[in-house]
Amino acid sequence: MNAMNLLPLQVTGAATLATVGLALWAGSGDGARATIRRAVLVLDRYATGIATVVASLALAIAVAAGAWQVVARFAINTPSIWSEALVRMALIWMAFVGIAVALRAGALVSIDVAHRYSRGAVRRSLEAASLAAVLSMLGVMFWFGWMMAERVKFQEMAGLEVSMSWGYASIPVGAAFAMIGAVAHFLDRRESELENAT
C-alpha cells in the first residue's frame, strides 16, 4: 500500500480518536466541559433539524417525480426522461442525509443486549467503542465521497443534464450531518422510546 492509500485512514483514525476523547471529556463534568457539551447539542439541534427537512423534501420530490412518471407513461403515453433520474437522486439524498436523523435518535442497529446489562465504566466504554466505529465509517465515507464528487464533476447525469457531483455530494454531506448526530447521541442519549419498543 502506498502512502496515498493510507492517508484517508490515518486522518480518519486520528480525527476519530480525538473526537471520541473530546466527547468522553465533555460528557462528564461542569465548567468548560458542560459548555462544550451544550455547544455540540445546540449545533446538533440545528443540524438534525436541517437534515430532517432535507431528507423529507427529498422524499417528497421522489414521490412527486415518481407519480409524474406513472402519469406520463400510462395516462398520457409520453414517458418522461428526467423523472426516473430525479427519483433516484432524491432517494439517494434522502437515505444519506436521513442517516443523521436515525443516528441522533439511536435508531440504527446497536449492541442492545450488552448495553442494557452493563453499567458504569463498562457501559460508557461500549458507547465510546460504538461511537468510534461509527465515526470511522462516516469519516471514510466523507473522504471518499468528497473525492468521488470531485472526480465526476464534469460528467452529466443522463436525463437531468446536471453534474454527477450533485448525486455524489450526498455522501459527504450526509456523513457530516451524521457525525454531528452520532456525537450528540453519545453526549445526550435519547432511546427511551426505542427501549419501550423492544
Q: Is residue 20 part of a domain?
A: no
| Per-residue CA distances from 162 to 19, 63, 65, 149 (Å) | 36, 20, 16, 13
In a domain, 81, yes or no: yes
- Domains held by the chain: number: 1
**86 is a domain residue:** yes
On whether residue 197 sits in a domain, the answer given is: no
Closest CA to 15 of 119, 118, 140, 121: 140
156 pairs with which residues across the strands? Answer: 163
Q: Which domain holds residue 139?
A: 30-192
> Do 170 and 93 touch, CB atoms closer than 8 A?
yes
Regions of the chain with pLDDT less than 70: 1-4, 108-115, 190-198
In a domain? residue 16 = no
Instruction: Give me the amino acid identity at 53.
Output: V
Could you tell me if residue 6 is inside a domain?
no
pTM above 0.75, yes or no: yes
The whole-number pLDDT of residue 4 equals 60
What letter does residue 156 receive in the DSSP assignment? B
* Residue length of the chain: 198
Give a yes or no: residue 9 inside a domain.
no
